[in-house]
């Protein structure tokens, strides 16, 4: 029978891959907590309407990338392509719209039917932060600072650049949208098939196109700057001021958009040049209209999501974890005593292992193979005296230690 492979676009994380993945998630979780964020764990699949409604029937994600299916009861379900919609759905379902702000961190798998390539998978993972409730630009700055601190704690802040933009308020965006439609209509001959469809439904999305020809047209497209209302310009000014106070470096990039209608004001991305076309590691913005789309009251919110796989690829080498302690019994009576020693070491938080069989020579070979830092050799004569031989496997040094002192010596 032929061996089965993982499904296309999915990966097994084992050894170094798993270590990097966990380092990203653990670090993010720790930093997010310092910002007062609580972790929410929402379902991996949702009623399809959670995404169909909120991602907009027109977005690329909904149109082409969703894993939707009917379950045995006939419900239309979708594996979540992102988690902001799920968090907003949970906010409303759990009656939390009157208990604001809610400051949320999440981590978990997402699913998109995409063409797999380096940094782009069908099951991938995101970490994310959402500040739900505050309308002030200080919240935008704070959530961005949280993202920057996570990148810094991972040692990759130097590899990324923060690009920010404003999408203005509704009035700014309406005026800008008209200018974009006029411009793209005049250049429709040069646009890709996909972007012609976007021109009808969601012209802002064209600015985000990865198509070469589209990009040439986009280079000359009108900027929102000329269409910003006074209030929107003031909001953007405040954001930049607060970022300065948080010590967050940024560049302005007027081409950054989030293509969905409920996004406004702040849009930002942390990008790197090290991952080719998959250069965006963290992306976010303000989505004041989303909770309302989910059936809640109008609720301001701002957040971001970051790709764990892309961050894991940027990480510097994982420092080697200290090796385990190998417990090596010699003879049958010692095998029973070895279990007590193992249990005591583990209670003290020490990584300890024993081979399941073998003579002294075999067990010592195995201790070396697993990179053990020390071996505790339990001979019957020594056990009778309440001691063991502790051998440092790096230096080769060996000494007699009382059983009761082992954990303290190895801690």
> Interface with ligand ATP includes 164 (CB under 6 A)?
no
How far is residue 32's CA from residue 250's CA, in Å, rounded to a whole number? 20
- Check if the beta carbon of residue 300 is closer than 8 Å to that of residue 288: yes
- Check if the beta carbon of residue 42 is closer than 8 Å to that of residue 86: yes
Stretch touching ligand ATP by CB under 6 A, among 116-124, 249-257, 288-296, 367-375 = 116-124
> Interface with ligand ATP includes 121 (CB under 6 A)?
yes
- Check if the beta carbon of residue 314 is closer than 8 Å to that of residue 331: no
Stretch touching ligand ATP by CB under 6 A, among 213-221, 236-244, 289-297, 307-315 = 307-315
* Residue of 168, 84, 68, 78 lying closest to 126 (CA atoms): 84
Q: Of residues 214, 293, 309, 382, which one binds ligand ATP by CB under 6 A?
A: 309
Stretch touching ligand ATP by CB under 6 A, among 221-229, 299-307, 346-354, 371-379 = 299-307
Number of residues that bind ligand ATP (CB under 6 A): 17
* Residue of 285, 282, 291, 307 lying closest to 204 (CA atoms): 285
> Interface with ligand ATP includes 83 (CB under 6 A)?
no
Q: How many residues does the chain have?
A: 411
CB-nearest residue to ligand ATP: 307
> Interface with ligand ATP includes 305 (CB under 6 A)?
yes
Q: Of residues 11, 22, 29, 82, which one binds ligand ATP by CB under 6 A?
A: 82
Residue 119 vs 379, nearer CB to ligand ATP: 119
Q: Of residues 40, 51, 106, 124, which one binds ligand ATP by CB under 6 A?
A: 124
Interaction mask 253-282, ligand ATP, x per CB under 6 A: -------------------------x-xx-
Residue 215 vs 373, nearer CB to ligand ATP: 215
- Check if the beta carbon of residue 138 is closer than 8 Å to that of residue 119: no
Name the CA dihedral angle for 108, 109, 111, 114, rounded to a multiple of 10 degrees.
110
CA distance from start to end of the chain: 48
- Check if the beta carbon of residue 130 is closer than 8 Å to that of residue 87: yes
Residue 149 vs 269, nearer CB to ligand ATP: 269
- Residue 208: phi and psi, rounded to 5, are -95, 0
> Interface with ligand ATP includes 307 (CB under 6 A)?
yes
> Interface with ligand ATP includes 310 (CB under 6 A)?
yes
Q: CB neighbours of 387 closer than 8 A, spacing ≥ 6?
A: 400, 401, 402, 403
> Interface with ligand ATP includes 112 (CB under 6 A)?
yes
Interaction mask 199-238, ligand ATP, x per CB under 6 A: ----------------------------------------
> Interface with ligand ATP includes 24 (CB under 6 A)?
no
Stretch touching ligand ATP by CB under 6 A, among 46-54, 88-96, 306-314, 333-341 = 306-314
How far is residue 91's CA from residue 84's CA, in Å, rounded to a whole number? 11
Q: Is 1 helix (H, G, I), strand (E, B) or coil?
A: coil
Contacts made by residues 191-196, CB under 8 angstroms, sequence distance 24+: 191/217
> Interface with ligand ATP includes 62 (CB under 6 A)?
no
Angle between helices 170-186 and 193-201 (to 10 degrees): 140
Stretch touching ligand ATP by CB under 6 A, among 26-34, 140-148, 304-312, 353-361 = 304-312
Stretch touching ligand ATP by CB under 6 A, among 37-45, 156-164, 287-295, 301-309 = 301-309
Stretch touching ligand ATP by CB under 6 A, among 119-127, 164-172, 312-320, 379-387 = 119-127
User: 192: exposed, middle or buried (C-beta count within 10 Å: 0-12, 13-18, 19+)?
Assistant: middle
- Site residues (vs ligand ATP, CB under 6 A): 82, 112, 114, 119-121, 124, 126, 278, 280-281, 283, 305-307, 309-310
């Amino acid at each position: 029978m032929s061996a089965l492979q993982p499904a296309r676009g999915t990966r097994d994380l084992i050894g170094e891959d798993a270590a990097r993945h966990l380092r990203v998630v653990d670090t993010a979780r720790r930093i997010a907590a310092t910002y007062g964020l609580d972790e929410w764990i929402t379902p991996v699949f949702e009623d399809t309407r959670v995404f169909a409604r909120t991602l907009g029937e027109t977005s690329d994600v909904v149109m082409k990338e969703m894993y939707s299916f009917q379950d045995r009861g006939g419900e239309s379900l979708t594996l979540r392509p992102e988690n902001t919609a799920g968090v907003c759905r949970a906010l409303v379902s759990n009656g939390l719209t009157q208990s604001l702000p809610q400051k949320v961190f999440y981590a978990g798998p997402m699913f998109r039917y995409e063409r797999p390539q380096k940094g782009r998978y069908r099951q991938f993972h995101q970490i994310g932060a959402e500040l739900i409730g505050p309308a002030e630009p200080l919240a935008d700055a704070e959530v961005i600072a949280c993202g920057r601190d996570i990148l810094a704690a991972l040692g990759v802040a130097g590899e990324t650049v923060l690009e920010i933009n404003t999408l203005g308020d509704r009035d700014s965006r309406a005026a800008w949208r008209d200018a974009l439609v006029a411009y793209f209509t005049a250049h429709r001959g040069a646009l890709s098939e996909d972007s012609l469809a976007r021109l009808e439904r969601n012209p802002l999305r064209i600015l985000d196109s990865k198509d070469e020809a589209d990009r040439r047209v986009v280079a000359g497209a009108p900027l929102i700057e000329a269409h910003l209302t006074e209030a929107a310009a003031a909001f953007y000014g405040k954001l930049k001021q607060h970022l300065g106070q948080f010590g967050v470096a940024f560049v302005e990039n007027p081409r950054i958009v989030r293509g969905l209608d409920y996004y406004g004001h702040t849009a930002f991305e942390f990008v790197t040049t090290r991952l080719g076309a998959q250069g965006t590691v963290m992306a976010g913005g303000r989505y004041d209209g989303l909770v309302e789309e989910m059936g809640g009251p109008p609720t301001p919110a701002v957040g971001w999501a970051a790709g764990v796989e892309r961050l894991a690829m940027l990480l510097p080498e994982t420092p080697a974890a200290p090796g385990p302690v190998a417990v090596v019994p010699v003879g049958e009576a010692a095998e029973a005593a070895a279990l007590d020693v193992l249990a005591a070491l583990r209670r003290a938080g020490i990584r300890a292992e024993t081979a399941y069989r073998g003579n002294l020579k075999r067990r010592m070979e195995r201790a070396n193979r697993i990179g053990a830092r020390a071996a505790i050799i339990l001979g019957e004569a020594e056990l009778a005296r309440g001691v063991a031989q502790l051998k440092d496997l790096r230096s080769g040094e060996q000494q007699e230690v009382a059983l009761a002192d082992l954990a303290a010596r190895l801690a």
